[in-house]
A = this chain, B = another copy of it.
Amino acid sequence: MSHSLFDSILQPSQILSGENLRDRYHHIWHTDKPLKAICVLLPTSTQEVSDIMKICHQQLSPVVVHGGLTNLVGSTETSGHEVVISTEKLNLIEEIDTSSRTMTVQSGVILETIHNAAGEKDLLFPLNFGARGSAQIGGVISTNAGGLRVLKYGMTRQLILGLEAVLADGTIISSMKKIIKDNSAYDLKQLFIGSEGTLGIITRAILKLEEAPKSRNAAYIGFNSYDKVVAFLKFMDSNLAGKLSGFELIWRNSYEQMTSTSDAVRPPLPYDYNYYVLIESLGSHTQNDHEEFQNLLEHALENELILDAVMAQSLSDVEWFFRIREDVNNLVDFMKHDQHFDISLPIPLIGDYIAERYKSLKEIDGVEQVYAFGHVADGNIHFMIGKSNLSLELKRTIDHCIYNGLKSIGGSVSAEHGIGTHKKDYLELCRSTEEIALMKSLKAAMDPKGLLNPGKVL
């Protein structure tokens, strides 16, 4: 099809093609690889997205949506035959309602912009992860993003009250309500959350905001036994009564590497322990919460639940503590090639599962570095693996090493990143034949011509 078909519904400045595609790319980490696409369209409203889809539907043209392009599983890849819809001009914050505690946004608004706008009203949009400065809320919702505060506030799915999406044939499904409870028949927004743009194109959303916390405490804790990590999680969660907001586990060698590249990430605790936990709580009383947090740590030390602890004494300490965990460049920069993972498994089994993978990975020829860390309270562990070459054989050997064993323990090959193209081959390791068949029948019912993000997920 020709991009000129869109001339009747969009301004010339909203249609990029030919030479103008040179500066476009499909991923923020690959800005040197020019985008392959028929054109990039820049709609400014749900209606324009609908108009575009009506033309694509008639022309049987596949469509890929581009947001902040921070996706980690290839969900925004193109082959050259697709129309790309970029949400970058759908970037309005339409309303912040401080009484209902909601924010109404178009899908192209950047996550950090949402954080700042909520903060100005003493409110919080709690979803938070490293790519917040680039990720757009439409992509965040499409992938049901997780991040650092799922423990307290849930994943994206729990933070969306209203949603507007465009179906493959251009139909607008608008469920833009601020209400917290709505059991009036099927909750359609659940279909679009986490389906990576394969069932509809998200154009607007109503986000659930929280009252901004007034206190923030954090600490690094040292352990030698994984069982103690789990016991300490239970202890803190049961004593912090909903204030526990983060509980990140870092394996010793990952901690050593994360804290060795500059003074900005110097180690809060010495390299004496097998496991390091970064714990965070968010509360409403600066002084009381600090004392309570400190008392709990002292109690845990006295009872030998933990071996060592250092508590942040200032906001800059908190930032230092989180910088260590968040800046994965300190791991990746020293790798020749990298391969990363985002697995989910029952919390009690994590210690042994990861230990076995460390052992097996080291025996694979071509594997040079192995780092594990993650949102252990959510049962979600990331691996960053450095390797000597990009051969498919090595990639698959590493994949199998990490994924082998997940099925029998009820794990998942994707906790928060999604499936995209990168994990399609492994979907059946965590979903049954019947589940995948039902997914395909949903896809067929909602996008019978297979136009939306073709080749992704299923």
Bound together, the chains give a CA A457 to CA B185 distance in angstroms of 6
Interface size on A, residues (CB 8 A): 99
* A412 on interface, CB distance cutoff 8 Å: yes
Across the interface, A434 reaches (CB within 8 A) one of B146, B172, B241, B445, namely B172
Report the copy number of this chain in the oligomer.
2
Q: Mark A233-261, 1 if CB is under 8 A from B, else 0.
A: 01001111111000000000000000000
Given A100-B346, A190-B190, A237-B211: A416 and B181 interface contact (C-beta under 8 Å): yes
Residue among A239, A242, A282, A410 with the highest chain B CB neighbour number at 10 A: A242
Given A172-B434, A173-B438, A445-B444: A423 and B184 interface contact (C-beta under 8 Å): yes
A183 and B143 contact, CB distance less than 8 A: yes
Q: Mark A302-346, 1 if CB is under 8 A from B, else 0.
A: 000000000000000000000000000000000000000000111
Chain B residues lying within 8 Å of A214, measured Cβ to Cβ, are 238, 241
B242 and A181 contact, CB distance less than 8 A: no
B412 and A348 contact, CB distance less than 8 A: no
Across the interface, A184 reaches (CB within 8 A) one of B152, B162, B282, B412, namely B412
B441 and A181 contact, CB distance less than 8 A: no
* Shortest distance from the beta carbon of A142 to any chain B beta carbon, whole Å: 11
* A458 on interface, CB distance cutoff 8 Å: yes
Given A174-B434, A348-B99, A410-B177: A183 and B445 interface contact (C-beta under 8 Å): no
Bound together, the chains give a CA A285 to CA B190 distance in angstroms of 37
Bound together, the chains give a CA A146 to CA B183 distance in angstroms of 9
B241 and A213 contact, CB distance less than 8 A: yes
* A417 on interface, CB distance cutoff 8 Å: yes
* A93 on interface, CB distance cutoff 8 Å: no
- Stretch of A27-35, A270-278, A425-433 with 4 or more beta carbons under 8 angstroms from chain B: A425-433
* A415 on interface, CB distance cutoff 8 Å: yes
Chain B residues lying within 8 Å of A178, measured Cβ to Cβ, are 346, 379, 410
Bound together, the chains give a CA A142 to CA B441 distance in angstroms of 21
* Shortest distance from the beta carbon of A120 to any chain B beta carbon, whole Å: 15
- The binding surface of chain A is classed by DSSP as loop
Chain B residues lying within 8 Å of A184, measured Cβ to Cβ, are 412-414, 419, 423, 427, 430-431
Given A284-B240, A344-B180: A441 and B434 interface contact (C-beta under 8 Å): no
A99 and B230 contact, CB distance less than 8 A: yes
Across the interface, A185 reaches (CB within 8 A) one of B98, B285, B289, B439, namely B439
* A187 on interface, CB distance cutoff 8 Å: yes
* A9 on interface, CB distance cutoff 8 Å: no
* Shortest distance from the beta carbon of A16 to any chain B beta carbon, whole Å: 30
Bound together, the chains give a CA A292 to CA B243 distance in angstroms of 15
B183 and A410 contact, CB distance less than 8 A: no
Across the interface, A181 reaches (CB within 8 A) one of B155, B173, B419, namely B155
- Supply 17 further A-B pairs (C-beta < 8 A) apart from A184-B431, A186-B199: A99-B230, A100-B379, A150-B181, A162-B410, A173-B432, A176-B410, A179-B346, A180-B378, A182-B344, A183-B194, A183-B416, A186-B439, A187-B194, A211-B234, A241-B289, A242-B243, A285-B292
